[in-house]
Amino acid sequence: MDERLPAHPVEREVGMEFYASSSDGIDGRIRERDEDFRVREIEDFDTQPVDADPDDYPHLVLRATLRGWDTNDFARRLSDAMGASRERVSWAGTKDKRAVTTQLFSVMKADPDALPEIRDAEIEVVGRAGRSIEFGDLAGNAFEIRVRDADPGGVEAITGELREFGGASIGVPNYFGQQRFGSRRPVTHRVGIAVARGDWRGAVVEYLGNPRDAEPDDTRAARGYVDDTGDWQGALERFPRKLGFERSMLHRLVEDGAQDEEDFRAALEAVPTNLQRLFVNAAQSYLFNRIVSERLDRGLPFDRAVAGDVVCFADADAPEGFTRPDMGRTQRVTEKRVETVNRHGERGRAFVTAPLVGTATELGEGEPGEIERDVLSREGIEPADFDLPGEFGSTGTRRAILVTTDLAIGRDPLTFDFSLPSGSYATVLLREYLKCDPRDLG
């Protein structure tokens, strides 16, 4: 069994137990300035010319380069400036605020001659489309990230370890990064685990309680009051008005009386549907991270399959020169098929996966399946537990356990240039180099 370097305690809280590399980190800081973190979408969305018939192609597609903008805030500003409702603006992926980002937006029934001027935003017309851009309508993201005040002496050693781990290219475990769970207060997965167990009261308390040191004094006091008393009216009086989701839950608890599990479920349903889904998605992500960590701890390969693994194959529709997994094409690996599958893997055509557990999940066999079952057993979870009402239910899917990239490192200044498929996290690569508190990567 390989000896693995333990991760930062905050990362272990969300299932990221180890680093793939064992060399000391280079320290340093990112995001001191917006331009230190640049991300550009690798586009995978077909458009027609801007003069195409607007009746057939009613969605105007724009490319925006933003500095210091949260994606949701920019969408609201764009809709206001173009005289459109917020519901008519769509995009493929949410980007970080403390960054310079380039991404596509679509605006339904917008005039291409009426592009607004918006602070810290460069906007150009790309064309028209017959439908709106939707979440996931991109192949991936290209990053250019500067690290300040680092000790670059350890870069080569870490790079060599990650190249060995990836099999040829630079490779890291395809963990869900800290942002998935909340960088300052990672509790969404704990809420989701409680939901999957049918513990609706426990889920509510996980979300309302659990004060963290990074929070303001009044917020910590209100959460502590929940943990100590369970007095919902008193908590409502104490929670700051800026915590709208928490207050929505508390209002429902006070109105319904909080007598049984159905009342606590109703309280969770008082928050927006996307947050309800996030709770369950975060639980699935946490379980995935735990499974990946256990595989690391046992020394099983990530760039090659072993008997019992479930692999997926490359997406034939990916943009030219870009490889990404297709979770619609999976296969269980038998002893007889290991060599054949691994030949496909060497050519970038097959990827070892682990489950994002849901009702339709078929677990692996052999040692990979044993890992999956052990993790679920320790958490008190079964795939059938995700047969849940409304937005909480999930059939599940699978996800590649390894993400590889062609990494270019500039020395003066120290800069990391690389691309990742959509759904993979830049910070999961950077953490291998900096080995710092993950909240300093956010």
Q: What is the mean pLDDT of residues 398-417?
A: 96
Q: Spelled out in words, what is the top-level CATH class assigned to the domain 45-136?
A: alpha beta
Cis peptide bond upstream of 173, omega within 30? no
Give the tens place of pLDDT for each residue, 50-81. Answer: 999 999 999 999 999 999 999 989 999 999 99
Q: What is the mean pLDDT of residues 269-290?
A: 96
Q: What is the mean pLDDT of residues 239-260?
A: 96
Confidence of residue 439 (pLDDT cuts 50, 70, 90): confident
| E strand or H helix at 170 | strand 170-173
Predicted local confidence at residue 168, as pLDDT: 81
Give the tens place of pLDDT for each residue, 337-349. Answer: 999 999 999 999 9
Predicted local confidence at residue 255, as pLDDT: 96
Q: What is the mean pLDDT of residues 236-256?
A: 97
The domain spans of the chain are 9-35+141-174+404-440, 45-136, 202-271, 275-400
Give the relative orientation of helices 200-208 and 244-256 as an angle to the nearest 10 degrees: 140
Distance in angstroms (rounded) separating the CA atoms of residues 403 and 12: 20
Q: How does 393-402 read in b/e, with b if 16+ C-beta sit within 10 Å?
A: ebebbbbbbb
The tokens for 390 are: 């409304």
Choosing among 1.20.58.1030, 3.20.20.450, 3.40.50.150, 1.10.1510.30, the CATH entry for 202-271 is: 1.10.1510.30
User: Which of 361, 340, 303, 293 has the alpha carbon at shortest distance from 5?
Assistant: 293
Give the tens place of pLDDT for each residue, 109-154. Answer: 999 998 899 999 999 999 999 999 998 788 899 999 999 999 999 9
* Common-topology check for domains 202-271 and 275-400: no
Q: How does 260-286 read in b/e, with b if 16+ C-beta sit within 10 Å?
A: eeebbbbbbbbbeeebbbbbbbbbbbb
The tokens for 175 are: 């963990």
Predicted local confidence at residue 248, as pLDDT: 97
Q: How does 304-337 read in b/e, with b if 16+ C-beta sit within 10 Å?
A: bbbbbbbbbbbbeebeeeebbbebeebebbeeee
Give the tens place of pLDDT for each residue, 351-394. Answer: 999 999 999 999 999 999 999 999 999 999 999 999 999 999 99
Predicted local confidence at residue 187, as pLDDT: 95
The tokens for 42 are: 């690798």
Confidence of residue 2 (pLDDT cuts 50, 70, 90): low
* CA separation, residue 15 to residues 169, 288, 357 (Å): 25, 8, 15
Distance in angstroms (rounded) separating the CA atoms of residues 155 and 141: 23
Confidence of residue 184 (pLDDT cuts 50, 70, 90): confident
Judged against a pLDDT cut of 90, whether residue 319 lies above it is answered with no
51 is catalytic: no
Predicted local confidence at residue 182, as pLDDT: 83
Judged against a pLDDT cut of 50, whether residue 1 lies above it is answered with no
Amino acid present at 5: L
CATH of domain 275-400: 3.30.2350.20
Predicted local confidence at residue 48, as pLDDT: 97
The tokens for 90 are: 């769509």
Judged against a pLDDT cut of 80, whether residue 442 lies above it is answered with no
Given the residues 34, 36, 44, 96, select the one marked as catalytic. 96
